[in-house]
């Protein structure tokens, strides 16, 4: 350990050349992106004949709106981040930036997969193999992404543990979902995978709150894009956990 370093971790402060503050056009673009995303989701579900699912399962409609709004905002933040970085502003230097980036990239990859799903399914068993391999590669890619971001965080940083935990949850969640039978009521799928996934999300949410506390303790000011990435990630974590809780009571 270097003698000039403090014994207690002090988070890295944002650079003095922070991106612009939150403006009304940022919010307007987020609203527009959310509207477009919801319109595309509705159009896709109408084409596939699944539009009635919103009426049959109201919680699905609520979760769709939540996910669409948060993911759209993350895409907007990611796009502005790339633009600002080209203009010389500091970006991708705060944990929330990487959280927003992951949400945006996941949303874009999922959208591409959904658009191409019919083409893969028309290939028969071969298409299923391609989809399966794509899911595996996606999981591995997201896990590696989080491990890399974890190593970019300073030593003894609470945020390092957040990204390490995200990598672990990313790898374990598909296995828990495989254990959960893809059945519908009145079937009763195993509750063990549901509780296993919830058990993984609880410490992940707790670690993010610890990161916030650490920043406040050391009086580290964060840019609004960091806070959006953090709140969007927390919102998705809580919504996902809530979805599994609702599913537990729905199938119980």
Going from N- to C-terminal start, the domains of the chain cover: 24-251
What is the C-alpha to C-alpha distance for residues 201 and 203, in angstroms, rounded to an integer? 6
Structure tokens at 213: 């506390």
Q: Could you tell me the pTM of the whole model?
A: 0.81
Most confident residue range from 3-12, 72-81, 104-113, 167-176: 72-81
Spell out a b/e string for 4-13, using b for 16 or more CB atoms within 10 Å of the CB, else e: eeeeeeebee
pLDDT digits (tens, 9 = 90+) for 8-57: 444 444 444 778 999 999 999 999 999 998 888 887 777 666 667 666 77
Percent of the chain with pLDDT over 90: 39
Determine which of 5-9, 53-57, 97-101, 114-118 has the lowest per-residue pLDDT on average.
Answer: 5-9
- Is a pLDDT exceeding 60 seen at residue 70? yes
The reported pLDDT for the residue numbered 184 is 45
User: Taking the alpha carbons of 27, 30, 34, 35 in that order, is the dihedral positive or negative?
Assistant: positive
Handedness of CA 134, 137, 140, 145 (dihedral sign): negative
- Mean pLDDT, residues 124-138: 75
Distance between CA atoms of 73 and 36, rounded to whole angstroms?
12
9 neighbors 155 (Cβ within 8 angstroms): yes
What integer pLDDT is reported at residue 159 of this predicted model?
Answer: 94
Give the C-alpha separation, 169 to 200, whole Å: 6
Distances (CA, A) of 78 to 75, 86, 130, 132, 234: 5, 13, 29, 28, 17
Q: Which residues are CB-contacts of 44 (< 8 A; sequence separation ≥ 6)?
A: 114
Residue with the larger pLDDT of the pair 249 and 84: 84
Q: What is the DSSP string of 96-133?
A: HHHHHHHHHHHHHHHHHHHHHHHHHHTTTHHHHHHHHH
What dihedral do alpha carbons 34, 38, 40, 44 form, nearest 10°? 160
pLDDT tens for residues 153-162?
A: 988 889 999 9
Eight-state DSSP code of residue 11: P
- Measure CA 168 to chain center: 14
Q: Is the pLDDT score of 151 beyond 90?
A: yes
Give me the residue label for tokens 């993350």: 74
Between 78 and 156, residue with greater pLDDT: 78
Tell me the pLDDT tens digit for each residue of 178-235: 655 544 444 555 555 566 667 777 888 899 999 999 999 989 989 999 999 999 999 9
């Amino acid at each position: 350990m270097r003698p000039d370093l403090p014994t207690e971790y002090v988070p890295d402060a944002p650079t003095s050349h922070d991106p612009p503050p939150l403006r009304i056009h940022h919010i307007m673009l987020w609203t527009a992106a959310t509207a477009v995303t919801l319109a595309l989701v509705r159009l896709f579900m109408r084409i596939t004949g699944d539009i009635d699912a919103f009426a049959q399962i109201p919680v699905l409609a609520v979760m769709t709106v939540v996910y669409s709004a948060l993911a759209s905002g993350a895409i907007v933040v990611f796009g502005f981040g790339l633009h600002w970085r080209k203009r010389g502003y500091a970006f991708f230097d705060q944990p929330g930036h990487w959280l927003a980036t992951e949400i945006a990239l996941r949303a874009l990859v999922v959208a591409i997969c959904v658009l191409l799903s019919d083409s893969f399914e028309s290939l028969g068993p071969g298409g299923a193999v391609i989809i399966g391999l794509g899911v595996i590669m996606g999981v591995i890619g997201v896990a590696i992404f989080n491990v890399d971001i974890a190593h970019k965080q300073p030593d003894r940083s609470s945020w390092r543990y957040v990204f390490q935990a995200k990598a672990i949850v990313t790898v374990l969640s598909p296995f828990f979902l495989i254990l959960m039978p893809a059945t519908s009521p009145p079937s009763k799928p195993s509750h063990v995978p549901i509780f296993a996934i919830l058990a993984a999300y609880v410490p992940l949410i707790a670690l993010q709150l610890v990161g916030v506390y650490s920043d406040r303790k050391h009086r580290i000011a964060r840019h609004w894009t960091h806070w959006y990435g953090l709140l969007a990630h927390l919102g998705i974590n809580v919504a996902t956990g809530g979805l599994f809780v609702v599913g537990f009571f729905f199938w119980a």
